[in-house]
């Protein structure tokens, strides 16, 4: 892993449905103790409909190359217990090295 790890995470997978047919996020741990870098960032955005500036908080994660993770999974921070939904998984292409996986994260619980 090239990014400096800030924590370790568990990859949560699986989903089920309740009696009403609503999808429930799974809590099956498919991998644990994975070193990860999770950084919180903010951005100021002007919304024309409200005529005001909002501060948006978003998270960027990095996992070692080859980690089995998709947008259907979730990531749980082993230190803080925060759970993040994965909006996008990407990796740059490099002829020299295998880069880390980049995750666009959204915090869903604390």
* Residues 21, 60 contacting (CB under 8 angstroms): no
Reported as a single tens digit per residue, the pLDDT across 36-94 is 999 999 999 998 988 999 999 999 999 999 899 998 889 999 999 999 999 999 988 88
Higher pLDDT, 58 or 22: 58
Per-residue confidence at 98, pLDDT binned at 50, 70, 90? Answer: confident
Q: Is the pLDDT of residue 22 over 70?
A: no
Q: What pLDDT, on a 0 to 100 scale, did the predictor assign at position 94?
A: 83
For the chain, the first-to-last Cα distance in angstroms comes to: 26
CATH 2.40.50 correct for 7-109 = no
What is the maximum span of the chain, computed from C-alpha positions, in angstroms? 51
Selection from 14, 6, 64, 11 nearest residue 37 by Cα = 6
Beta strands in the chain (DSSP E): 7-17, 23-47, 52-63, 74-77, 83-90, 101-109
* Predicted TM-score of the model (pTM): 0.82
Q: What pLDDT, on a 0 to 100 scale, did the predictor assign at position 21?
A: 64
Contacts (Cβ under 8 Å, ≥6 apart) of 64: 1, 34, 35, 100, 101
């Amino acid at each position: 892993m090239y990014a400096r790890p800030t924590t370790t995470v568990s990859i949560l997978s699986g989903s089920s449905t309740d009696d009403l047919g609503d999808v429930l996020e799974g809590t099956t741990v498919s991998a644990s103790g994975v070193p990860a870098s999770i950084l919180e960032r903010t951005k100021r955005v002007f919304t024309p409909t409200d005529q005001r500036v909002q501060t948006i908080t978003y998270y960027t994660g990095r996992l070692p190359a080859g980690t089995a993770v998709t947008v259907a999974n979730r990531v749980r921070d082993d230190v803080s217990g925060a759970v993040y939904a994965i909006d996008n998984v990407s990796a740059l292409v490099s002829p020299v090295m295998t880069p880390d996986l980049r995750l666009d994260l959204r915090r869903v619980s604390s």
